Amino acid sequence: MKKLLLICMLFSIVCEAQQDSQFTQYMYNTIEINPAYAGSRGALSVFGLYRTQWVGLDGAPETSTFSVNTPLRNSNLGLGVSLVNDKIGPTNENTLSADVSYSVPTSESFKLSFGLKATANIFNLDASKLNFENQENNQFQDLNNKFTPNIGAGVYWHSDRSYIGLSVPNFIETNRYNDNDTAIRKEKINYYLMGGYVFNLDRLEYIKFKPAVLAKMVEGAPLQVDLSGNFMFNDKFVIGAAYRWSASVSALAGFQITKNMYIGYGYDHETSNLRRYNSGSHEIFLRYDFFKNYNKMTSPRFF
- pLDDT for the residue 15: 41
What pLDDT shows up at residue 1? 41
Contact in structure between 259 and 274 (CB atoms under 8 Å):
no
Q: Report DSSP state, residue 269.
A: E
Q: Inform me whether the pLDDT recorded for 74 exceeds 80.
A: yes
Share of the chain above pLDDT 70, in %: 82
Given a cut of 80, whether residue 202 has pLDDT beyond it is: yes
Where is 239: in which H helix or E strand? strand 237-244
Q: State the pTM of this model.
A: 0.86
Is residue 84's pLDDT more than 50?
yes
Residue 13 belongs to some domain of the structure: no
Residue 241's pLDDT is 97
For residue 264, being part of any structural domain is answered with yes
The percentage of the chain sitting over the pLDDT mark of 90, rounded to a whole number, equals 62
Who has greater pLDDT, 275 or 46?
46
Given a cut of 60, whether residue 186 has pLDDT beyond it is yes
Q: What is the pLDDT of residue 280?
A: 92
Q: Does residue 180 carry a pLDDT above 60?
A: no
> Is residue 303 in some structural domain?
no
What's the confidence (pLDDT) of residue 205? 84
Q: What is the pLDDT of residues 215-240, one digit of tens each?
A: 999 877 888 999 999 999 999 999 99
Residue 209 lies in a domain: yes
Please check the confidence at residue 3 and state whether its pLDDT lies above 70. no
> Which residues lie below 8 Å from residue 258, measured CB to CB, with a gap of 6+?
none
Phi and psi at residue 255, to the nearest 5°: -145, 130
175: left (phi over 0), alpha (psi -120 to 50) or beta: beta
Q: 261 falls in which pLDDT band (50, 70, 90)?
A: very high
> Which of 13-17, 40-44, 261-265, 274-278 shows the lowest per-residue confidence on average (mean pLDDT)?
13-17
CATH of the domain at 215: 2.40.160.40
Number of domains in the chain: 1
Residue 19 domain flag: no
Residue 10: φ, ψ to 5°: -65, -40
Confidence at 120, pLDDT banded by 50, 70, 90: very high
Rounded to the nearest integer, the mean pLDDT of the chain is 86
Domain span at residue 285?
Answer: 28-292
